A and B are shown apart, each in its own frame.
Chain A
Amino acid sequence: MKNNKTYKKQFILLSILLVVLWFVNICLGSVSIPFQEIFYILIGEETSKESWQTIILNFRVPKAITAILVGSGLSISGLLMQTLFRNPLAGPFVLGISSGASLGVALLILGSSFLGGSLLSLVFSNWSLAIAASLGAFLVLSAVIIAANSVRNTMSILIIGLMFGSLTSAVISVLAYFSEAEQIQQYLFWSFGSLGNLTWEELLVFFIIYVIGIFGTFMVIKPLNSFLLGENYAKSLGIHIKKSRNIILLITSLLTGVATAFSGPIAFIGLAVPHIAKMLFNTSNHKILIPAVIIIGAIVLLICDTIAQLPSSEYTLPINAITSLFGAPVVIWLLIRKKKIYV
């Protein structure tokens, strides 16, 4: 709303940091490739080893782009939920979206043993996992939105979301109880989260949905800002509460749903990044916060992914563990330093 100029420096610095980290992320991995060669591959020139080209173009670049999309998408979802519910503990998963996605995947992986071998071959395809996760997320979210429209209080939606989450976890537990160890392990691997393994086609689908979600987010800047005064004031400022609420819920489900479908339930980012942005920029104005959260979300997940791939080693840690291991202390430190947390 005011003093937009003073934020320019922060935005430029963060953007540079984002580009640098993206390069670092591509350069590091279990196979070490000289920096010069990576540069040649990226600008489309010949390289000395064809395998390097494959690693960079079909593995590392898509993964780094996925990290950016997942990181910023989940963070924006978190910001939307924190403002809508006026609750600093809200995140992208409060609506039961991740539990819905998990249920979809669990039904596919764990349920396949009941349905016999015909489905089993499908299970291993990336697409079927993504579709199952999307369907699950969409179904649970639809139930939450239908319930949400029959309650007046926004806080009730939060609780309804949490209840749906509990319900789906319970169903997953029952499924797991009756499943083979191998399938449980497969499900567990999905729940660890993974940014890799996306083909360019999958990435394109992801990107299109992501752009729709981000575009929608910019369209709701006004209602988001007015929600800072509470629903009654927002209404008196001409905001259509129910309509805005439904659009915000829809955007969140799109962004969270697509991220979870392609890379599993990645914890923590969505809750923490909005707080990091609010503390760095010292504002609640969504016109500043939305771009800030997009960039910081991308940066944070790129850093986490760079750490997770344990450069120059053969191992890759689950991304979900890294986001929490490194993110939680950062937020605790920020809180102790700044003393106060805001919606």
Chain B
Amino acid sequence: MKTSSKHIILKTEALSIGYQQKKKRVVIVNNINLSIEKGTFVAVLGKNGIGKSTLLRTLSKVQNSLDGNVFLNNKNLSEYSNKELATSLSLVLTEHLPESQLTVFELIALGRQPYTNWIDTLSAEDFKKIHWAIKQTEIEHLQHNRFYELSDGQLQRVLIARALAQDTPIIILDEPTAHLDMHHTFKIFSLLKKLVDTTGKTIIISTHQVNLAIDLVDELIALSDKGLVNGRVQSLIDNDTLEHLFSKEIIKFNKTLRQFTIHKNN
């Protein structure tokens, strides 16, 4: 159940994201001031190359920020050790996994690494968490398969299970539905929504499924050429933020349908 008290789990202050190229800094988005409550389902929207992945990578410390601060549970992200961060935040990335013979079970079990001893022995507690993650993502029938035998949709569920097994209050997913058809895209979205509703976890995704996101998530982070706007879905509709998400000649936001539609004359 969602907590009634407003606990801000993730906050940024004047955050600048981008990357350092030799001595030149390339700023992608400037002055980001986000605040995300515990137990919300958040989607980062925006066109290709606008900085969605960079934002998520910066929030999860895969990449360093250029300026400003990120606070996770009121503690500055830069003060987190790798190990401490591993018990606070888990990831599902878009990158391909290197080839190996890992089984689905073993892959999910790797999510328990922050808790296991020096030779990676699984405790009863670890097994419990792994089985719970497998059950939540409905992949019981796949657990003894090798991960390379899975379809994209199945693999995505396995990666979500791995993040769940890591038992963190926040899960960040970079385009979890990138290679999926409509059916599987919807299944992943509803799985994530169910997890937010039942476990009180905070889930942040980046996605191009804008219409689905508007329907299912609680909050949006909209990235456009005008910068970043963060808020509840309805408030972003009301203040016309979504109108400016894409170039208006082709795609338009229809307020009554709460959907993006394509211009007929194109």
Contacts and interface: CB of A to CB of B under 8 A. Distances in A.
- Secondary structure dominating the interface of A: loop
Nearest to A236: B91
B99 interface: yes
Interface stretch (A128-136, A276-284, A302-310): A276-284
Nearest to A239: B82
B120 A232 contact: no
Given A237-B86, A237-B166, A239-B82, A222 B105 contact: no
Contacts of A221: 118-120
Contact of A228 (B62, B81, B110): B110
Contacts of B105: 1-2
A116 interface: no
A342 B122 contact: no
B202 interface: no
B118 A219 contact: yes
Contact of A235 (B82, B98, B101): B82
Contacts of A237: 86, 110-111, 113-114, 166
A229 to B, nearest CB: 6
B89 interface: yes
A228 B102 contact: yes
Interface string A323-343: 000000000000000000011
Contacts of A343: 98-100
Contacts of B113: 222, 225-226, 237-239
Contact of B119 (A218, A229, A232, A342): A218
Nearest to B168: A236
Contacts of A236: 60, 62, 85-86, 89-91
A331 to B, nearest CB: 17
B91 A232 contact: yes
Q: Give the one of B87, B90, B118, B120 with max A CB within 10 A.
A: B120
A221 B122 CA distance: 14
B93 A233 contact: yes
Contact of B101 (A225, A233, A239, A283): A283
A235 B113 CA distance: 11
Contact of B100 (A219, A239, A284): A284
A285 interface: yes
Contacts, number: 95
B90 A238 contact: no
Q: Give the one of B93, B95, B102 with max A CB within 10 A.
A: B102
A282 B100 CA distance: 10
A342 B109 CA distance: 20
Contacts of A342: 99-101
Interface in B202-240: none
A2 B127 CA distance: 10
A86 B98 contact: yes
B77 to A, nearest CB: 13
A165 B246 CA distance: 52
B109 to A, nearest CB: 5
Interface in A211-247: 218-219, 221-222, 225-230, 232-233, 235-240
Contacts of A227: 98
A238 B96 CA distance: 20
Contacts of A219: 118
B118 A222 contact: yes
Contact of B97 (A229, A283, A285): A229
Nearest to B89: A236
Contacts of B119: 218, 221-222, 287
B122 A1 contact: yes
Contacts of A235: 62, 82
Nearest to B122: A1
A342 B102 CA distance: 10
B175 to A, nearest CB: 14
B37 interface: no
B91 A225 contact: no
B67 interface: no
A170 to B, nearest CB: 31
Contact of A240 (B60, B82, B96, B98): B82
A342 to B, nearest CB: 5
A287 B103 CA distance: 14
8 contacts: A1-B106, A1-B120, A222-B116, A222-B119, A229-B97, A236-B85, A238-B81, A283-B101
Given A227-B98, A232-B93, 17 more contacts: A2-B105, A2-B109, A218-B119, A222-B116, A225-B120, A228-B97, A230-B96, A232-B95, A233-B97, A235-B62, A236-B62, A237-B86, A237-B110, A237-B111, A284-B102, A285-B102, A342-B100
Interface of B: 60, 62, 81-87, 89-91, 93, 95-103, 105-107, 109-111, 113-114, 116, 118-120, 122, 166
